[in-house]
Each structure stands twice: as C-alpha cells, then as structure tokens.
Structure 1
Amino acid sequence: MAVSDAAKLGDRSKKADYIYGKKRLREIDSREHFLIKRLEGIALVDRLQHFVSEMLAHNCIAR
C-alpha cells in the first residue's frame, strides 16, 4: 500500500497518536521517578530530625 493510500485510511494519524501516547507515557514515568526520589529525600530528613531529637533527649549533644 502506498503512503498516500495509508494516509487516506488514517493510518498516519493513528501512528501519530501512538507515538504521542508513548512520548506522554515516558514524560509521566520520568515525572514519577523524579517525585519518588524527592519523597525519599524527605523521608531521610525526617529520620535525621528524629535522630537529632533522640540525641538531644539523651543529652548526647549540646543544646
């Protein structure tokens, strides 16, 4: 089938939708990865604050 025949049948637009959908999915996956890493950093800070609080409570470090 020639390209012009496929275009008449809408094959190019379907392929474009597919390509755009895959691109959008990669963007979403990338954003998800970024946010997960940010949340892991927040959890690390919370653990650090807990550690400092415990050290202060047991007079292990000066206030």
Structure 2
Amino acid sequence: MAEALNWWKSTYSSGGDGDTCVEIAEATAHRRICVRDSKAPARGVLSVPVPSFALFIEHLKHHP
C-alpha cells in the first residue's frame, strides 16, 4: 500500500488561488522528500532523499 502524503506549500505562495508554488511532502517510510506543482498535482512528483533535499535548502539559504 502506498504511503499517504500530507502536502504543504510555502506561506509565500501567492496568486489568485495561492497555487503559484510547489508543494512538499515527506515520505517518511522511504526517507524521501516529494515535490509537485501545486497547479497540476496529478502530473507527477519529484522524489529525492532527505539529506539531498536538506543540502539543496541550505544552498538556497546562502545563495538566493
């Protein structure tokens, strides 16, 4: 059975319906972070290991 994911998006998400952002979910059973387009959530999901995603976020903090 697939793990149910709880999707969330940034409080910085803006636009008419607040759907101009990506959504993030943690797949804890597989230790991965999932990312999808909030405007087209059924189109697909990018899944990366938690440590790789953490490095990505740290890089963004220092190189906006």
Fold shared, TM-score > 0.5 on shorter chain:
no
Larger C-alpha radius of gyration, 1 or 2? 1
- Ranked by relative contact order (alpha carbons within 8 Å, sequence separation 6 or more), the top structure is 2
* Larger helix percent: 1
Richer in strand (by share):
2
Give the TM bin, normalised by the shorter chain.
under 0.3
TM-score, normalising length from structure 1? Answer: 0.26
TM-score, normalization by structure 2: 0.26
